[in-house]
Chain A
Amino acid sequence: MAVSRRGARPRFTLLLLVLTSVTLLTLDFRGGDGALSGFRSGAREVLSPLQGIAGAVTRPLGDIVQGVIHRGDLEAENAQLRAQLEEARGAAAEAEDAQRERRALLDIQDLEFAGDIPNVPARVISSTPSNFELAVVIDRGTDHGIAENMPVVSGAGLVGRITEVSSNRSVVRLLTDLTFSVGVRFTSSGDVGVATGRGRNDPMRVDLVDAATAVGRHELVVTSGLQQSAYPAGSPVGRVDSAKSVPGEDEKRVTVRPLVDLKRLAFVKVLQWSPS
């Protein structure tokens, strides 16, 4: 009996904590932009300077550790990059011509692409503290005209979208996150599909691609920008990593490797764009 009395108080404390957690969860599920959201934004604002200092001080150590861990990968990557550079030189002239053609087509069709969309440059200051979320924090927020759901791009293409904003900070959910989806279009056929993130190391999966669609390996995939899409049309997303038809299935199995190196993001641009 003595044992049960000793154990009663910790159990009661635990019960209170569980009830508090459940209350918080309930409020969070029902809350939307209430006090809890403000509390989270405030915490992020307060911690950011400390994170910045600690991160800057320890970054060299992190670089050393990553260098040791990924030495083999870096050597392989260097060789691959050298090969790609040679290819890129050869393709540059061709690309210039294609660009001229593209500009001419745009003029004819009077389309408005990302180039005309106002944007906010931002620096990536940290990643979110979870092994289950793929997101980064940037140093711009509502004070700079950023709002939730705005698309985020880098020079290479789509990075993700804004999921949380405070006055001077925003969280960008990366396109490889498991909860991220974007409508895409294959540049050669014009067919569309929906690309979904599958984690840091895996290519995105593209669903709803008709089995008859011709998909080329390394083909460029861009945002479809269909009606009410959360992203403007034509932003590069990635290149086709694999595409195969399975007998008996209506859809082609396609994966796309993002163009942006999401592991080494330093600067991004937030497009001040919303579906209209």
Chain B
Amino acid sequence: MESAVMPRWLRAGIVVLVGLVLHTSVFPQLRIAEVRPDVMLLLAVLGGLAAGPQVGAVFGFACGLAVDLLLQTPLGLSALTFSLIGYGVGAFQGVLLRSALWLTPAVAAAASAIGVLAFALVGAVLGQAHLITPTVFSVMALVAVLNAVLALPAARAVTWALQEDDPT
């Protein structure tokens, strides 16, 4: 399998880059009520779910930093939020007693909603008061739904990217 010959950091980098391109070019066209899925947040969530808190935090940081480069909000805001989300989902994954197909979309939806709110709240604390608006709750709800729809295919990509390197 390709993952055996490709180091984990490279696989993760490829997934982040592809995710970023899709996030900025494809998914803006698939918006509902002017809200688009937050693919980079979804990747951070799935990173925690697939690989636990430590790798989830690092992968979330990478996803956040990548999207930060294209935003006008302060550099590091998404990185901070997404690393916390990746860590949180990874810690939650550790206490899950069972694995079921529906869990991935369910966790993606819940964590995405929390991630959107966390981004707005942390941003507001850092002086981006405009991020807290009455529409933040509708953005949370729609991002949760859209990310849940995308969760299963994205989870396959993240699992491929974050599986441990073959020691041989």
Contact = CB atoms under 8 A, between A and B. Distances in A.
Interface of A: 7, 9-10, 13-14, 17-18, 20-25, 27-29, 36, 39-40, 43-44, 47, 50-52, 54-55, 58-59, 61-63, 65-66, 69, 126-133, 135, 163-164, 171, 173, 178-179, 199-201, 263
18 contacts: A10-B57, A10-B90, A13-B57, A14-B83, A21-B61, A21-B83, A29-B74, A43-B70, A47-B20, A51-B24, A58-B25, A63-B29, A129-B67, A130-B71, A132-B130, A163-B72, A199-B133, A199-B135
Contact of A69 (B32, B70, B131): B32
Contacts of A10: 52-54, 57, 87, 90-91
A22 B80 contact: yes
B35 interface: yes
Interface in B58-103: 58, 61, 64-65, 67-77, 79-80, 83-84, 87, 90-91
Contact of A14 (B35, B75, B77, B84): B84
Among A25, A61, A127, which residue has the most Cβ atoms of chain B within 10 A? A25
B120 interface: yes
Interface in B93-144: 116, 119-120, 123, 126, 130-131, 133, 135, 139, 143
Nearest to B140: A131
Given A13-B54, A17-B61, A54-B21, A131 B139 contact: yes
Given A36-B75, A131-B38, A44 B57 contact: no
Nearest to A66: B29
A20 B28 contact: no
Interface of B: 20-26, 28-32, 34-36, 38, 40, 52-54, 57-58, 61, 64-65, 67-77, 79-80, 83-84, 87, 90-91, 116, 119-120, 123, 126, 130-131, 133, 135, 139, 143
B61 A54 contact: no
A20 B116 CA distance: 21
Given A14-B87, A171-B72, A129 B57 contact: no
A25 B82 CA distance: 14
Contacts of B75: 24-25, 27-28, 36, 40
A179 B74 CA distance: 14
Nearest to B91: A10
B76 A22 contact: yes
A126 B80 contact: no
B77 A25 contact: yes
Contacts of B90: 10
A158 B163 CA distance: 50
B28 A129 contact: yes
Contacts of B77: 21, 25
Contacts of A14: 53-54, 57, 83-84, 87
B67 to A, nearest CB: 6
B25 A126 contact: yes
B69 to A, nearest CB: 4
A10 B92 CA distance: 13
Contact of B25 (A17, A54, A65): A54
Nearest to A171: B72
Contact of B58 (A17, A55, A129): A17
A152 to B, nearest CB: 15
Nearest to A39: B69
A49 to B, nearest CB: 10
